[in-house]
Amino acid sequence: MAAIPDAPNRDTGKTLAEIIAEHVRDSARQHWTSSYNNTPLIVGIQGPQGSGKSTTARAVKKLLEDSYGWIIALLSLDDLYLPHDGLRSVAAAHPGNALLNGRGHPGTHDLELGKDILERLQQLNVNARSPETRDEFNLPVFDKSLHNGEGDRLPEGSGEKIEGLMEVVIVEGWCLGFYPLSDEELEKRYTAEVDAAKNERLQPYSLQDLKDINNYLKSYVEALYHFFTCFAQIVPGPDPIALTYKWRLQQEHDMKAGNGGRGMTDEQVKAYIPGYLFFADGVEKGYNTQSGVEPVPEKYPPWRGRNLRVTIDENRAVTKVEKI
């Protein structure tokens, strides 16, 4: 487990969870006023592995429930991983691509399931008006310790039961909000990383391996991103890649220490880093990721204007807060 991110902002004295909870509160009030409906606000929280995003998401949920009595659903992108057989099928379809040899990167999630859940959550309040349309279901659960750390989805009905009315839906994930790049921009970034003598972060990953991830990301944008109108991004500084690897490794070691050693190897943990290195700026820019090119408004993420960027240090203390 990552350390609880309870270190306060050096300027305001507020914790990471309190800062994001205020952002969600203000966005929810604006959402209900501007939309003239009672659909729940669907919020995305993104941060690299080990940054404390899952702990923060749970804390945000509790803060809003305790302060305002809101009913809130919390879904992790991790719980949308394909079942074990599906993960093995993806790996078999991309032999030699270590990024897709197991759970983690775009391409290993069940997007149809994710889209169905978000659609049902979005319509939950509308359908609750009538006994004939009232909806009840359970959120999925993925157990990462099964199959020697490869993981598998638990039987249907294992997760939190969803019913009645809902004010807010929070979805958290390390690659949530990542956008694909053009082939030209991806190649440019890959070449620049190798030329900068940092290619140890990429090995044994080829440009084609990253193109596979890039192609899968297009489906994430189409299937999921239009549901989100509020977002919070947790950004480590000053060296995001070094901290991401350090935290993610610590997270996996802690999990294995508590379950008898079932989990990823250190090399498998490294496989998360390329996705963060190449695609994370899409959370803010959407498709506007090519340097030197004038941004196109239609290519911005749907949460633009309601995106909170929170920078944290190695101890997970908040150092900077920006609204984008």
How confident is the model over 136-177, as pLDDT tens digits?
A: 999 999 999 999 889 999 999 999 999 999 999 999 999 999
Q: What is the pLDDT of residue 39?
A: 93
Beta bridge partners of 274: none
Token pair listed for 252? 């996996």
Q: What is the pLDDT of residue 38?
A: 85
Residue ranges in the chain modelled with pLDDT below 70: 1-12, 35-36, 196-204, 264, 268-274, 289-298
Q: What is the pLDDT of residue 121?
A: 97
- Of 295, 44, 45, 287, give the one whose Cα is nearest residue 180: 287
Total-model pTM: 0.88
Q: What is the pLDDT of residue 270?
A: 64
Q: What is the pLDDT of residue 250?
A: 82
Q: What is the pLDDT of residue 272?
A: 56
Burial 170-195, CB ≥16 within 10 A → b, else e: bbbbbbbbbbbbeeebbeebbeebee
- Compute the distance between CA of residue 318 and CA of residue 118 in angstroms, rounded to an integer: 30
Q: What is the pLDDT of residue 258?
A: 80
Q: What is the pLDDT of residue 1?
A: 28
Cα torsion at 294, 295, 299, 300 (round to 10°)? Answer: 170
Q: What is the pLDDT of residue 174?
A: 92
